[in-house]
Chains A and B, each alone.
Chain A
Amino acid sequence: MRRSTVIFLALLLIFTAVVTIMAGAGMVSTSFVKTLGMTLCLCLAAVAMDVVWGYAGILSLGHMAFFALGGYLIGMWLMYARTEAIVVQALSGAPLPATAEEIRQGIGNQIFGVVGSSDIPWVWTFADSLPLQLMLVVLVPGGLAGIFGWLAFRSRVTGVYLSILTQAMTLALALYLFQNDSGLRGNNGLSGLQNLPGVSAPQAVTAVWLFWASAFALALGYAGTAWIVGGKFGSVIRAIRDDEARVRFLGYPVEGFKLVVFTLTAVIAAVAGALYYPQAGIVNPAEMMPIASIYLAVWVAIGGRGRLYGAVIGAAVVSLLSSWFTGGRAPSVDLGFYRIDWVNWWQVLLGLTFVLVTLFAPRGIGGLFDRRKT
């Protein structure tokens, strides 16, 4: 294992321990624990983005679609199981024991009443089973990425065109989900995901559990991708990034490598999303709009692409700063003639930072840690 990976895992372990102890002692609020857990998930998504973009050179502007899709898929189980518990509870007072049909109807009414329906759509077929739905978290985004990647790479769509195409893909998905008859509650999205069905522990405890799960997923994702990009596979995909034609002439199945990277990272992003949304509590199609995926690229670029820890740094720093500035907690700056409210100016600052980083520090913050000159 490389030294940077060991250092990263050790730091992550220490961080997790510190947060756990502080949360146990009540020194940090539950909501802040959630924010940190969500940040870890975003870091994992950024790691995936870094592999696909920084290492393989595929600037995907659609990876947050897989992230949100993962959230949707786990959210379906969370929402179904929780609603089922509520409906069973409500029906338990009735003189006759409830039939399975009545319970299903009750669930349908509860979940889809908001889009004027009470039937449970076919996409929810496996929503009552956690193991099946967990499989879908991997299979659906992976399958989607596989099909899309196969179509795109096969016809040699590269560079800018591929970026635009991935952007179109995520836009199409978002627009589809915005419809009420998509079977996923239209623009209402799925809500109430923060309550784990069958768990009576208070939010403060479940928040820490999810935080651990996020930290574990990040550790696993980081170590796994570090192992992959550190090996021969990593060499090939970096070679593809640098000169695709030459790698092809050397006899490597370039499209296959790209497809594997694209699909693998989509699955990692989906898993990250599946852990993120139970902490966020709600997922809706707006999260799939292309802008979210572009932000993911922004984090990786600011952190420094081509280095996994760069992606983590970028995602953590920018997303935490973002929530600090836009949360209204950052002190306003009074210039006498004008008051800078960060809620209104953070985006401008971020955009400017981004332009400056692209222009003057193409290797991002992570580049500062790099001793080698490449």
Chain B
Amino acid sequence: MQILLSIFFMLTLALPVAAQDLATVLNANRDQIVQPSRTSIGPVIDAIANSGDPAVRDVLAAWEGRRLAVRQADGAFVIADGDRLTDLRGAALPAADVTVLRPNAGVRGLIASALVQFQLTDPDPVARGAARDAIARNAAPEHLPLVREALANGSDADLARLERLLTLRFDPDPAARVVAIQGFGATLSLDVRAALNPLLATRRVAAFDEPVGNIARILSVADLGREGAYDLLVQANLAPARLTPNDAHRALVANIVNGQVAGVPVAALDTAEAREGAYSALEAAGTVPTAATEAEVDSILDRAHFADVYVEPDAVVTDAARAALLGIQAKLGAMQAADLALDALSLASIYFLAAIGLAITFGVMRVINMAHGDFIMMGAYTGYVVQQIVPDRTLSLVVALPLAFLVTFAAGVVLERLVIRHLYHRPLETLLATFGVSIMLQQLAKNIFGTQARPLTAPDWLSGSWALNDIVGISWIRVAIFVLALLFLGLYLFIMRRTRLGLEVRAVQQNPTMAASMGISPNRINMLAFGLGSGIAGIAGVAIGLFAQVTSELGQQYIVQSFMTVVVGGVGNIFGTLAGAALIGFLQKGIEWLNPSNTLAAQTYMILFIIIFIQFRPRGIIALKGRAAGD
């Protein structure tokens, strides 16, 4: 290859700039072209490439694509696209018998290389871009001179970048590579990371001498584990294979004579030591191959050295690459933290949305509504039903949100009137009664909608995501949910602090009797407040349904978390709920980050944390004081 390349370059330089006619070149090298050989075709390809004919590119592409053919009648070169024949310039020809040339993979590789060089200087920027991408995807040392040559002909920022990427990997001069590496600084681009990482590739070596080469890390037996270390030595042919239990077993079985192995009765071979002893006896008798026993393994391992050695021999280059990657890692870490924070924020918004209704019914009214989760489910199903009737996604969402509010508001009012009204003095029993309602609602949903998940599809403008850079991004649905959560926070604050209803709710909550004597009807207020809390659950249901599967169990997944959000945050205070949602969301994402494969474990640890947290702040993050605290 090296020789071939040098010939290639020599020819490139030696050939006259004055172009020969393409057809002349082809005809002059007819034999070579028809029956190409990988070792000798290089100069021919170059001659074609340098002929300067505008059709060269198409001809080379056709040749590489096994579309170049020889017309049998006169031996002329033609391009055959299926049954359609054209001449080299693309003009259509009448049908004729042709022999299609089928260059082998090696020859086609050479043609492709020539084509790349050709494409890099293509006047069409799209074609240039494609060539650059092709090189970047599958970089090889021989691309470097091609790119440099193209760069000499015309400057282009992308091409210059590609040249530096190739330089840092393939330039023969280490100094040039270091300069190229440092030139990129701490960038987050994937292509730079992809170019730097191979420089730090290592291979693991085992030897009895001190390891040589560009050593990344000296390893001890403890690092590798006894088994792993010995396996490395076996792979390097430096030690005899270990006696595996299976082999020992087989060897022992093969040597059972009269119910004995090497004089040991078979019945006694029920411990590992007895078996090893019997094997050693066979070994001594020469009936089985020698294999390392535990003691031998130890003595061999004592003498051996292990190391990770860089494939790249030059330490200067690996140091520079490591330093550059460290810088990139730091920046990457910061970006990932930002991404994680966005994730956590969106999770917190979901918890907040699910819990804000509870903040009213549980936080303000002290009613434990176990059916709250099922109101969320009702909202999601409302969204699904609306989408069945109104096919336009955006319009259906516009209809579904208020409709879900109305449906669950009504359900909440009915529940309050029929059940909860009678239980205001028995809070634990509201828990039980609403649980009864919850299992009813779930089963009803199952009876109506079946057990399989129903889709609630987001409109197109909500699909996709907002990407800040390669790492930080967030899907639009989550942004929307965040906005919705903020909206609800504002709405809640407005209703509770600025409206008559809010004033009366607070009055009833603090002292129902006094509120009643001031002309406020606690009955009516309780009903409305409960309806409001339920209605918000319905809207949350539509939002959650957009990204989760809508099933009859949808609400159950949120109910425990919602209660914990309210309890952790501090009952009776919307900012407490906000703090609780933020704490739980960020905590869960944080734990997930520590153990990314395991969402279940993250939830487990989060709940444990909350149980312990309650120890220190039994009334939640933001605890109400004084009379407002009620009990």
Give chain A's interface residues, CB within 8 Å of chain B: 59, 95-102, 148, 151-152, 154-157, 159-161, 163-165, 167-169, 171-173, 175-176, 178-179, 181, 290-291, 294, 297-298, 301, 344-348, 350-355, 358-359, 362
Q: Tell me the dominant secondary structure on chain B's binding face.
A: helix
Specify which of A161, A168, A179, A345 is in contact with B618 (CB 8 Å cutoff).
Answer: A161
Residues of A within 8 A of B447 (CB): 344-345, 348
**B440 & A352 in contact (Cβ 8 Å cutoff):** yes
A56 → chain B closest CB, angstroms? 13
**A99 & B443 in contact (Cβ 8 Å cutoff):** no
Residues of A within 8 A of B607 (CB): 168-169, 171-172, 175
A154 → chain B closest CB, angstroms? 7
B525 at the interface (CB under 8 A from A): no
Answer whether A159 and B427 are a contact pair too, CB < 8 Å, given A164-B567, A301-B432, A351-B443: yes
A and B contact pairs by CB, cutoff 8 A, 9 listed: A95-B253, A101-B272, A151-B615, A155-B618, A168-B607, A171-B560, A175-B603, A175-B607, A301-B432
Can you add 12 more A-B contacts, CB < 8 Å, to A101-B272, A164-B560? A96-B275, A99-B272, A151-B615, A155-B615, A164-B563, A165-B611, A169-B611, A344-B447, A345-B447, A355-B433, A355-B440, A358-B432
Answer whether A355 and B431 are a contact pair too, CB < 8 Å, given A96-B275, A154-B615, A347-B443: no
Residues of A within 8 A of B610 (CB): 168
**A176 & B601 in contact (Cβ 8 Å cutoff):** yes
A81 → chain B closest CB, angstroms? 20
B419 at the interface (CB under 8 A from A): yes
B199 at the interface (CB under 8 A from A): no
Give CA–CA (A354, B419) in the complex, Å.
11
Residues of A within 8 A of B428 (CB): 59, 159-160, 163
Q: Mark B368-395, 1 if CB is under 8 A from A, else 0.
A: 1010000000000000000000000000
B357 → chain A closest CB, angstroms? 16
Residues of A within 8 A of B598 (CB): 179, 181
B130 at the interface (CB under 8 A from A): no
Residues of B within 8 A of A362 (CB): 426, 429
Q: Mark B586-628, 1 if CB is under 8 A from A, else 0.
A: 0000000000001011011001101110111010000000000
How many residues of B are counted as interface, with CB atoms below 8 angstroms from the partner's CB atoms?
56
**A175 & B600 in contact (Cβ 8 Å cutoff):** yes
A359 → chain B closest CB, angstroms? 6
Residues of B within 8 A of A171 (CB): 560, 603, 607
Contact stretch, chosen from B116-124, B262-270, B475-483: B262-270
User: Which B542-575 residues sit within 8 Å CB-CB of chain A?
Assistant: 556, 560, 563-564, 567
Give CA–CA (A152, B611) in the complex, Å.
8
Give CA–CA (A350, B615) in the complex, Å.
36
Residues of B within 8 A of A354 (CB): 432-433, 435-436, 439
**B267 & A351 in contact (Cβ 8 Å cutoff):** no
B423 at the interface (CB under 8 A from A): yes
A91 → chain B closest CB, angstroms? 10
Give CA–CA (A52, B428) in the complex, Å.
14
B330 at the interface (CB under 8 A from A): no
Specify which of A178, A179, A294 is in contact with B435 (CB 8 Å cutoff).
Answer: A294
Question: Chain A: which residue is nearest B274 at the CB level?
Answer: A99
Q: Mark B501-542, 1 if CB is under 8 A from A, else 0.
A: 000000000000000000000000000000000000000000
B248 → chain A closest CB, angstroms? 10
Leading 7 A-B pairs by shortest Cβ distance:
A354-B436, A351-B440, A347-B443, A172-B607, A97-B270, A351-B439, A355-B436
**B432 & A297 in contact (Cβ 8 Å cutoff):** yes
B226 at the interface (CB under 8 A from A): no
